[in-house]
């Protein structure tokens, strides 16, 4: 049975709103401007006391406007790729139990000045994907693997380097990279020696020079540590002094070592 009184009141309020819409909206806007904090606190308390009602309201609204909400969200992500990355990154770290002492805007400001990975130099792509990470995707690295995120203990590196670094500290990761480089340099030199012996005659394409005493122009000293970036010693410590050379230089040194070995054998 329809409540005629309630229906009559509804029609009256509907008519009144149409006739006085501008005054009502102006009064509402003025009240909201003057009592913004009070309204926010009231809404917060209501949501805390009635979470199921709020959830149902939001769910109904989302289901009714699903496509529009998705389109607007995607448009915002495309227009604000760095801020979108910062928001999702902080949210995921909070979910994993990290203590976050930096806002999304502060993180976005830091990311704005970082375009390449500090380890491999890969160009970072902040554009939003579909829930997948690629090699060029930026990734937040907690420099020394602390469970806290502050502006002074984070780096933004590529997803691939962060996946390789895993739970290592920055010092441990640099030491790991140095050990990989050292191991494969030895293997590469061994391969060249094996090929040279197997061929029976000297192949200049495998070595940087014909005569070790007269190295070619490809044997180069690239510069000092400070000029070309960081370098680490066998213990993983960052070197403050020293020089950096190219691979041809290492091969040339290896040739000199072989010549000295031959001379010592000839003298004996």
Q: Are residues 95 and 158 in the same domain?
A: yes
Strands 99-100 and 148-149 turn out to be parallel
Residue 73 lies in a domain: no
Averages of pLDDT over runs of 10 residues in the chain (268 residues) are: 66 87 90 90 90 91 92 90 92 89 92 88 78 76 86 90 88 83 63 48 45 64 54 52 67 75 75
Q: Let me know if residue 47 belongs to a domain.
A: yes
> Tell me, what CATH number does 99's domain have?
3.30.40.220
Q: Give the residue from 123, 150, 167 where a domain finishes.
A: 167
Asked if residue 71 belongs to a domain, the reply is: no
- Any idea of the CA torsion for 170, 175, 180, 186, to the nearest 10 degrees? 160
The Cα–Cα gap between 261 and 268 comes to 11
Q: Would residue 21 count as lying in a domain?
A: yes
Domain match, 161 and 124 both:
yes
Spatial contact of 90 and 110, defined as CB atoms under 8 Å apart: no
Report helix, strand and coil shares of the chain as percent, to nearest 5.
Answer: 60, 10, 30
Distance CA 133, CA 160 (A): 9
Q: State whether 120 and 150 are in the same domain.
A: yes
Q: Are residues 195 and 229 in the same domain?
A: yes
pLDDT for res 216? 63
Q: For 233-265, what is each residue's pLDDT tens digit?
A: 555 554 555 666 666 777 777 777 777 777 777
Asked if 27 and 111 sit in the same domain, the reply is no
Q: Is the full-model pTM beyond 0.75?
A: no
Residues 158/135, Cβ–Cβ less than 8 Å: yes
- Contact yes or no for 108/83 (Cβ under 8 A): yes
Task: Give the per-residue pLDDT at 18.
Answer: 87
Nearest to 5 by CA among 15, 97, 13: 13
Q: How far apart are the first and last CA of the chain?
A: 119
Tell me how far apart the alpha carbons of residues 265 and 268 are, in angstroms, rounded to a whole number: 5
**189-217 pLDDT per residue, tens:** 555 555 544 443 444 444 444 566 666 66
Beta bridge mates, 238: 232
Query: pLDDT at position 187, please?
Result: 58
Q: The domain containing residue 149 runs over which residues?
A: 80-167
- Among the candidates 167, 199, 216, a domain finishes at 167
**Separation CA 155–CA 143 (nearest Å):** 6
127 shares a domain with 104: yes
What domain count does the chain have?
Answer: 3
Q: Which of 157, 162, 153, 151 is nearest to 107 (CA)?
A: 151
Q: What is the pLDDT of residue 188?
A: 60
């Amino acid at each position: 049975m329809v409540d005629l009184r309630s229906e009559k009141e509804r029609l009256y309020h509907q008519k009144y709103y149409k006739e006085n819409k501008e005054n009502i909206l102006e009064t509402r806007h003025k009240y909201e401007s003057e009592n913004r904090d009070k309204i926010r606190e009231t809404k917060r308390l209501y949501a805390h006391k009635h979470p199921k009602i709020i959830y149902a309201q939001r769910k109904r609204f989302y289901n009714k406007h699903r496509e529009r909400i998705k389109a607007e969200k995607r448009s915002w992500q495309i227009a604000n790729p760095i801020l979108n990355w910062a928001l999702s990154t902080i949210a995921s770290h909070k979910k994993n139990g990290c203590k976050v002492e930096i806002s999304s805007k502060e993180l976005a400001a830091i990311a704005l000045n970082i375009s390449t990975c500090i380890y491999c130099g890969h160009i970072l792509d902040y554009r939003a994907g579909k829930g997948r990470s690629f090699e060029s995707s930026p990734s937040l690295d907690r420099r020394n693997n602390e469970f806290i995120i502050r502006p002074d203990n984070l780096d933004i590196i590529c997803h691939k380097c962060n996946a390789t670094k895993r739970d290592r500290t920055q010092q441990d990761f640099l030491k790991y990279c140095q050990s990989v480089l050292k191991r494969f340099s030895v293997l590469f030199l061994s391969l060249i020696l094996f090929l040279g012996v197997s061929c029976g005659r000297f192949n200049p394409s495998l070595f940087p020079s014909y005569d070790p005493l007269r190295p070619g122009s490809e044997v180069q000293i690239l510069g000092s540590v400070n000029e070309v970036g960081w370098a680490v010693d066998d213990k993983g410590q960052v070197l403050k002094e020293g020089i950096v050379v190219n691979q041809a230089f290492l091969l040339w040194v290896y040739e000199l070592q072989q010549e000295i070995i031959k001379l010592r054998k000839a003298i004996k």
